[in-house]
């Protein structure tokens, strides 16, 4: 069976700019920390996989002084940040990315396995998924997220786990990611990867991706940009399920 695995942040919704960044800054303010991340600075922090790891980098780079209880503090800050992020999602302030709901619905109608694999907190991922595709479709999609693996992207652990748990055929599985860390995670697990860039990742190196596009697109929107095509897919104004099939090396019955 053909499978589609989606990353969360930057793929399901534009969460980084409209969700995670303001949630981090609100957390810093709530705890009285002398830290505020600009969009540019947050873009640099995004090269670090995982929210807890980004918080830990404040100690590693000297932004915050060394602290014997930093592990406990990071855990508390991250819980607060996750709660604030969930509130932003539920308020409808984080826009779903174009084409996600359409593609997910089409894949499920075609009896594809659809899953989400992210190293963000599971509660956050489930909230974004439900907002992006609707609660009914979200209930049909397994989520692998958070600390279910010991290493964050670009390590392939989260994708290896998803493939193993769902019994997927790597040759019939396509990953949709938005960053180089995600691309390396997917390809490291032996999976083909389609990239849909965002403002933070557009200039990253996606040489290993089978297809790189500006977004998945939707009817009635401006045509998507195809930034690189290394496989058989040649999309039109928006991606279709046939375009996703063409990203896979085996083109048997779906």
DSSP label at residue 19: I
Q: Give the model confidence (pLDDT) of 169-204 as tens digits.
A: 999 999 999 999 999 999 999 999 999 998 889 999
Last residue of a domain, one of 60, 90, 120: 90
On whether both 62 and 36 belong to a single domain, the answer is yes
Residue that finishes a domain, picked among 41, 68, 90: 90
Burial of 67 from C-beta contacts in 10 A (0-12 / 13-18 / 19+): exposed
Question: Per the domain annotation, does 251 fall within a domain?
Answer: no
Q: What is the pLDDT of residues 79-136, one digit of tens each?
A: 999 999 989 988 888 889 999 999 999 999 999 999 999 988 898 899 899 999 999 9
Residues 110 and 175 in one domain: yes
Alpha carbon distance 148, 56 (integer Å): 19
Instruction: Say if residue 11 is in the same domain as residue 132.
Output: yes
Query: Is 254 a residue whose pLDDT tops 70?
Result: no
Q: Does residue 253 belong to any structural domain of this protein?
A: no
Active site residues: 7, 9
Say if residue 170 is in the same domain as residue 114.
yes
Q: Is residue 210 part of a domain?
A: yes
Per DSSP, helices labelled H in the chain are 15, 21-30, 39-45, 51-60, 70-90, 100-109, 122-133, 135-138, 157-166, 180-188, 241-245
In the DSSP assignment, the letter for residue 243 is: H
Name the phi and psi angles at 201, rounded to 5: -115, 0
Interval 4-17: pLDDT, tens? 999 999 999 988 88
Residues 169 and 68 reside in one and the same domain? no
For the residues 240-246, what does the mean pLDDT come to?
A: 97
Structural domain for 108, as ranges: 3-15+95-245
Using only C-alpha atoms, the chain has a radius of gyration, in whole angstroms, of 18
What is the pTM for the complete model shown? 0.87
Q: How many domains does the chain have?
A: 2
């Amino acid at each position: 069976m053909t499978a589609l695995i989606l990353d969360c942040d930057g793929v399901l919704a534009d969460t980084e700019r409209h969700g995670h960044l303001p949630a981090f800054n609100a957390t810093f303010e709530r705890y009285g920390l002398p830290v505020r991340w600009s969009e540019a600075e947050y873009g640099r922090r995004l090269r670090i996989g995982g929210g807890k790891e980004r918080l830990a980098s404040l100690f590693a780079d000297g932004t915050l002084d060394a602290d014997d209880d930093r592990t406990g503090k990071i855990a508390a800050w991250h819980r607060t940040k996750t709660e604030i992020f969930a509130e932003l999602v539920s308020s409808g302030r984080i826009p779903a990315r174009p084409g996600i709901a359409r593609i997910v619905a089409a894949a499920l109608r075609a009896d594809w396995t659809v899953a989400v694999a992210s190293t963000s907190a599971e509660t956050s991922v489930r909230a974004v998924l439900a907002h992006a595709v609707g609660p009914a479709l979200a209930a049909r999609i397994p989520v692998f997220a958070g600390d279910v693996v010991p290493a964050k992207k670009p390590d392939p652990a989260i994708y290896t786990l998803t493939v193993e748990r769902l019994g997927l055929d790597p040759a019939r599985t396509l990953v949709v990611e938005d960053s180089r860390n995600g691309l390396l995670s997917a390809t490291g697990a032996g999976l083909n990867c389609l990239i849909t860039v965002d403002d933070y990742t557009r200039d990253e190196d996606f040489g290993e991706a089978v297809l790189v596009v500006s977004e998945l697109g939707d009817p009635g929107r401006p045509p998507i940009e195809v930034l690189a095509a290394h496989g058989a897919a040649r999309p039109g104004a928006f991606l279709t399920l046939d375009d996703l099939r063409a990203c896979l090396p085996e083109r048997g019955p779906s």
